[in-house]
Amino acid sequence: MQKAESISTTALDNSPFMRACRREPVPYTPIWLMRQAGRYMREYREVRARMSFLELCKTPALAAEVTVTAAERLGVDAAIIFADILLIIEPMGIELEFAKGEGPAIHNPVRTSQDVDRLREVGNVEPLEFVFEAIRQTRASLRADLPLIGFSGAPFTLASYIIEGGGSRNYVHTKSLMYTDKGAWNALMSLISRALVKYLNAQISAGAQALQLFDSWVGCLSVDDYREYVLPHTRSVIRNLTPGTPLIHFGTGTGALIESMREAGGDVIGLDWRLQLDEGWQRLGHDVAVMGNLDPVALFAGKDYVRAQAKKILEQAAGRPGHIFNLGHGILPETPVENVIALIETVHELSAK
């Protein structure tokens, strides 16, 4: 008789999501959604009412609870651990706060080479044990055949937050450091990259079956700037991850960058809604998987519109192995949950072989 552990490993490996990551045939197109545990869902709001966002991230039992609840309620084909892309920057000596209604704020931004020098090397990732414990608890509670995705921000997106002190429209501070002090820029990106390798590999060890690297802000760069200032660092992270764990490489506003992102690495390249899926896949080459790419705002338009748009994207994928359906970015807070569920059911129905 097979051991329970080997049975569950086989079930996970043969799940539609993991098969799609490897560009293998699937019985239907797998779907999961960025920010699938979020404020649009009543169960999540009830948990969040008791604590801050950062407190929830740092309470493994509750992070696991909202992760599992969202996956089960929606009927998606993968869960993604409840965390935040910026958690890795705290052990570097960055003072991170999530201000109510304003998103992340960094109280000691990095603007000069001297600021870079004061950052700490992440020798080990023990300060982030709460993430790994949340992964272990989530893995123990999920269905045996439902994969769990771990994640973090990519080097450029983390660097831009650290430098700007929060979100930005034009990334003036980030690009100024990048253009005027390449040594400081590379030192910062290398520091982040080394920390990411430790952090993401620890997520795999804790029980994540796949990873996603969120380069949410990299779309602000030209192709030349991406290739000079970002690609080598992102590629270094991806090449040093535990072999055999699929990685999704995702960004927004990256229509001009997808070929370079593919060069940086990833088993699956995320496409946002500004680029048609078939055009993006053709440019990338069909020997890589893709994820995407419904506009998150489409979920406000009603079930008939959602169904029509899902059908269009599935037709663009043309049944080719290696398509994971997702939004082009995360679910927005006011999204009607019934439309989210309708999208998932529609994708499963229309793509069934």
What amino acid positions are annotated as catalytic residues? Answer: 35, 39, 48, 84, 161
**CB within 8 Å of 99: residues ≥ 6 apart:** 105
**Residue 107 buriedness (CB in 10 A; 0-12 / 13-18 / 19+):** exposed
**Structural contact between residues 85 and 149, judged by C-beta atoms closer than 8 angstroms:** no
CB atoms closer than 10 angstroms to residue 99: 11
Cα separation, 148 vs 19, in Å, equals 14
Strand partners, 21: none
According to DSSP, residue 51 is labeled S
How many angstroms separate the CA atoms of 144 and 142, rounded? 6
HSE value, Cβ hemisphere, 13 Å, CA-based, for 191? 26
